[in-house]
Amino acid sequence: MKPYSVSFGGIPDKYSAWKNSAFAVVPFPIDLTTTYVSGARNGPRAIIEASSHMELFDEENKIETYRAGIFTSTEIPLMTTGPLSMLKEVERRFRAVIKAGKIPVLLGGEHSGTCGAVAALKKKYDDLTVVQFDAHADLRDKYLGTPWNHACVGRRIVDSGAKLVQVGIRSMSEEEDRFLRKSEGVKTFYASELRENLGDVTKGIVSNLTGNVYITMDLDVFDPGIMPAVGTPEPGGLGWFEAIDILRDVMLSGSNIVGFDIMELAPIPGIVAPDFLAAKLCYRMMGWVLAKREEK
């Protein structure tokens, strides 16, 4: 796989080479089906740029995560033939990463990219749970003429046969609500429930994880106060520590974490805090993957 001109973390070549890297970052700079504020095509680049300003010591896990190796691939190219051809390219890259025994990390870019990631993982792991952090249920069968719209990601995950666990939801249509009521393969934890009892809800989330686990982070799960740089902001989202507390328990649970993504960053010129949040979140999640390996 070809390396990108810049590396996640701004790390030395020695640690960003394909060979021996524990992680492979795949940038998905696409916002083809965005419906409100566009700009997610600039997300991956902004995350990688912000990541070069991070401390490379993970103060929670007490490790220098980059020493395990973080490869950054070239961007998924924009194809005007429609979303599906780009999702196929995500799937192809993920398969190569999985085959090489690395943990794939997708950076977006609109949320539909996750469909390509899940397609690759489902082929490798029959027993797959996808944990979707999101303000939106994303369970529409179609939106604005395509099933590959960013508003349909959850539904496509269900179609793939993976189990879906949703966290932080606070926006959906009547159609989606009806779908949820009759779906057995979906478990939804609403933002309002988290607000009432974070500890018990987190236990509920963890108890719903089976087999191999992929985590998809739509950044709009965070409150717009700390994450205004998204295409479809919703009030009442998670704070940094709330998200960290849930993610820690999910990532250090008994389940095997097979990859993750951080999606929907639409950078706002002059406001770097959201870009930095996304970069730090990505690095922390890598840190938990390593911390768990060391535990074993």
Given the rule CB under 5 A, which residues bind Mn ion? Answer: 134-136, 218, 220
Smallest gap, in angstroms, from Cβ of residue 277 to Mn ion? 16
Q: With respect to Mn ion, which residue has the nearer C-beta, 136 or 140? A: 136
Q: Is 165 in contact with 149 (CB distance < 8 Å)?
A: no
Smallest gap, in angstroms, from Cβ of residue 198 to Mn ion? 20
Smallest gap, in angstroms, from Cβ of residue 270 to Mn ion? 24
> First-to-last CA distance in the chain?
30
Q: Closest-CB residue for Mn ion? A: 136
Q: With respect to Mn ion, which residue has the nearer C-beta, 134 or 275? A: 134
Query: Please, what's the b/e burial string for 117-141 (b: 16 or more CB within 10 A of its CB; e: otherwise)?
Result: bbbbbbeebeebbbbbbbbbbbbbe
**Within 10 Å of residue 161's Cβ, how many Cβ atoms?**
12
Q: With respect to Mn ion, which residue has the nearer C-beta, 211 or 224? A: 224
Strand intervals (E) in the chain: 23-28, 70-72, 103-108, 128-133, 163-169, 186-190, 212-218, 256-263
Q: With respect to Mn ion, which residue has the nearer C-beta, 220 or 223? A: 220
Cβ partners under 8 Å of residue 93, min gap 6: 1, 26, 73, 76, 104
Long-range contact set of residues 268-273: C-beta below 8 Å, sequence gap at least 24 = 268/39, 268/228, 268/229, 271/228, 271/229, 272/50, 273/226
Q: With respect to Mn ion, which residue has the nearer C-beta, 29 or 168? A: 168
The CA–CA distances, whole Å, from 204 to 52, 129, 201 equal: 36, 14, 5
Smallest gap, in angstroms, from Cβ of residue 241 to Mn ion? 21
Smallest gap, in angstroms, from Cβ of residue 249 to Mn ion? 22
Q: With respect to Mn ion, which residue has the nearer C-beta, 93 or 170? A: 170
Smallest gap, in angstroms, from Cβ of residue 33 to Mn ion? 13
